[in-house]
A and B are shown apart, each in its own frame.
Chain A
C-alpha cells in the first residue's frame, strides 16, 4: 500500500505570494493532519480534517487555511507569505478520527525569500 504523498517536495516563493500544498493520504485513511516544522518552534499542529470538515485547528493566523476533498486528499494554503513561513510542512494520515496512529508523508520544504 502506498504511503502518504505530498506535492511538491520543494517550493520557493517570495514574500506576499500565496502557496498551495497537497497531501494524498494512505488509501482508505480518512483523517488528515498538517504540521509545521521549524528549527525555532519545532513541530506545531496546524489543523486536522476528517470527512471534508476541519475538526481541530492549531494556533496559527488566518493566513493558513486548508480543505479536504471527498477522496480524502487535502490541501493547505498559505496566503500573503512571510519570511517566517519558511518551514517543512508535514502531512499525516490516519484511518479514522480518533484512531491512535498517524503516518507521515515526506513533507514539503517551503522557502520564502
Chain B
C-alpha cells in the first residue's frame, strides 16, 4: 500500500519570504500523480499544484513550485513571496494512475503553515 509522510507538523515563515514543505512517499508503482492541497480555516480543501510522475519537469503555479525527485520519492512544495493568505494546513497526496481504484487519494498528515507579518 502507498504511504505519504510529511515530517514537519508545523512551519512558520515571515511574510514575503520563501518556505519549503517536505513530503516523501512510498510506492512500488511507476506511474502516479502527486498533489499539494491547502486547507485554510474554512476547511475547504483547495488544490495548489499537481505533478505527473512521468514528467521530469517540475510543476509550477505562480508562486508555488515543486521539487519532484522520483528516485528519492520526494515531493516538496516551495512557496515564494509568502502572503498572509497562504496560512493554512498543507497536505501532500498521492494517487495511482491505474484505472482500478484510481480515484483514491492517499494523504499525508499535513503541515500547518503560519505566516508572520
Contact = CB atoms under 8 A, between A and B. Distances in A.
Interface in B86-107: 91, 95, 97, 99-107
A105 B33 CA distance: 21
Contacts, number: 63
A44 to B, nearest CB: 8
Interface of B: 33, 35, 37, 42-47, 50, 52, 91, 95, 97, 99-110
From DSSP, what is the main secondary structure of chain A's interface residues? strand
Interface string A78-112: 00000000001010101001101111111101000
B44 A55 contact: no
A29 to B, nearest CB: 11
A97 B108 CA distance: 23
A33 B93 CA distance: 14
Given A31-B103, A103-B47, A109-B43, 12 more contacts: A33-B103, A43-B91, A48-B104, A55-B100, A92-B45, A92-B105, A97-B99, A97-B103, A100-B97, A104-B45, A106-B43, A107-B45
A42 interface: yes
A58 interface: yes
